[in-house]
């Protein structure tokens, strides 16, 4: 009985490493001209994938008002997301990150930070 319980615990621990949130495509910094439109991309193995703009959800009204919009897609545990940004002057040096999460086991990981840089 005790060995069966230990085996179950082992497989539960192993499952945590088999299915965990992982960013597979990182967003990259973009240097662009004023008023152009750019797209940041991100992919992950996760239940949910979202973008963050200056550490705020990109779907937040304030981020959307600044010219950011998100599209996501995915199936079978693989998610992809694109963040479209209009290079307004107030968006210069904006920090962009992806946030991937799993439901079971609960886990959250963040991508590297990309920067939106805008030239004159």
pLDDT of 76 reads 83
pLDDT of 96 reads 99
Give every CB contact of residue 37 below 8 A, 6+ residues apart in sequence. 84, 85, 86, 87
Q: Which CATH number fits domain 21-119: 3.40.50.800, 3.60.15.10, 1.10.10.10, 2.60.40.10?
A: 2.60.40.10
Distance CA 113, CA 59 (A): 18
Single pTM value for the model: 0.83
pLDDT of 7 reads 63
Q: Which residues of the chain have pLDDT under 50?
A: 12, 14-16
**Structure tokens, 18:** 């088999």
Domain boundaries, the chain: 21-119
pLDDT of 14 reads 47
pLDDT of 92 reads 98
């Amino acid at each position: 009985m005790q060995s069966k319980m230990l085996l179950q615990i082992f497989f539960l621990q192993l499952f945590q490493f088999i299915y965990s949130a992982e960013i597979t495509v990182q967003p990259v910094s973009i240097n662009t001209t004023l008023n152009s439109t750019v797209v940041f991309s991100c992919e992950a193995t996760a239940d949910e994938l979202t973008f963050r703009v200056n550490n705020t959800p990109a779907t937040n009204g304030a981020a959307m008002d600044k010219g950011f919009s998100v599209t996501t897609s995915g199936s079978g545990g693989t998610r992809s997301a694109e963040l479209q940004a209009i290079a307004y002057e107030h968006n210069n040096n904006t920090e962009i990150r992806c946030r991937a999460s799993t439901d079971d086991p609960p886990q959250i990981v963040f991508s590297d930070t990309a920067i939106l840089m805008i030239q004159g």
